[in-house]
A and B are shown apart, each in its own frame.
Chain A
Amino acid sequence: GENVEQHPSTLSVQEGDSAVIKCTYSDSASNYFPWYKQELGKGPQLIIDIRSNVGEKKDQRIAVTLNKTAKHFSLHITETQPEDSAVYFCAAPNYGGSQGNLIFGKGTKLSVKP
């Protein structure tokens, strides 16, 4: 089955700096890689995802890159703001299953200091 590793576990940046979170996966058949943001007391919220037929996807200040050969993908947040402070999770499909049947990384707690 799929295994997802996520680094770092904590990340502290100054407002306006960039933040990068990296994940690796084990199943070469995986083809969908979402990133979720979880604020305190709330459920995870999808912020961006990428499919294996593209190498990069951007949405305003957020971008995700995928390297299928190395089996790793990364989340990039530019011009960070205090409201970006949260726990971020990467994920990959379980047994090549549906977009909601996911194996999650352990999470990265991002703190953006004003």
Chain B
Amino acid sequence: EAGVAQSPRYKIIEKRQSVAFWCNPISGHATLYWYQQILGQGPKLLIQFQNNGVVDDSQLPKDRFSAERLKGVDSTLKIQPAKLEDSAVYLCASSLLLNTEAFFGQGTRLTVV
């Protein structure tokens, strides 16, 4: 079974630029999560989708971050404009249903300079 796919693996941008990350969850998984993991810390949830609807975006900095999952499969996370403190690994995870195990992708490492 293929895992959660994320791209790109690495991205370096200057502050105030925009960036987008892409996630393809495990086939058939209805629930999708985006997490932010700052170096030396545990992952922090940014947004949770159930199919193409948002379940929880309470920790998403909505002034600069946006995410969508238009067809209930792939998802994109965008940052515009980026700040230095956005440097982190952005992890996508998916689960078959709301209350089943979440599987994580390898993440996208973002460096803002």
Residues on A facing B (Cβ under 8 Å): 4, 6, 34, 36, 41-46, 49, 89, 91, 94, 97-107
B93 in complex: contacting residue of A4, A6, A100, CB < 8 Å: A100
The answer to whether A101 touches B106, judged by C-beta atoms less than 8 angstroms apart, is no
| Chain B residues within an 8 Å CB radius of A100 | 31, 33, 48, 93-95, 98, 101-102
A99 in complex: contacting residue of B45, B95, B105, CB < 8 Å: B95
Question: Is B43 in contact with chain A by the CB < 8 A criterion?
Answer: yes
Within the assembled complex, what's the spacing in Å between the Cα atoms of A107 and B100? 22
B102 in complex: contacting residue of A6, A41, A89, A99, CB < 8 Å: A99
A-B residue pairs in contact (CB < 8 Å), sample of 28: A34-B101, A42-B106, A43-B4, A43-B91, A43-B105, A46-B101, A89-B42, A94-B45, A94-B56, A97-B48, A97-B56, A98-B95, A98-B98, A99-B95, A99-B101, A100-B93, A100-B94, A100-B98, A100-B101, A101-B45, A101-B48, A101-B56, A102-B43, A102-B45, A104-B42, A106-B41, A107-B41, A107-B42
CB-based nearest A residue for B9 = A41
Question: Is B16 in contact with chain A by the CB < 8 A criterion?
Answer: no
Within the assembled complex, what's the spacing in Å between the Cα atoms of A20 and B105? 27
Q: A100-B48, A100-B102 are contacts. A44–B95 as well, Cβ < 8 Å?
A: no
| Chain B residues within an 8 Å CB radius of A46 | 101-103
| Chain A residues within an 8 Å CB radius of B105 | 43
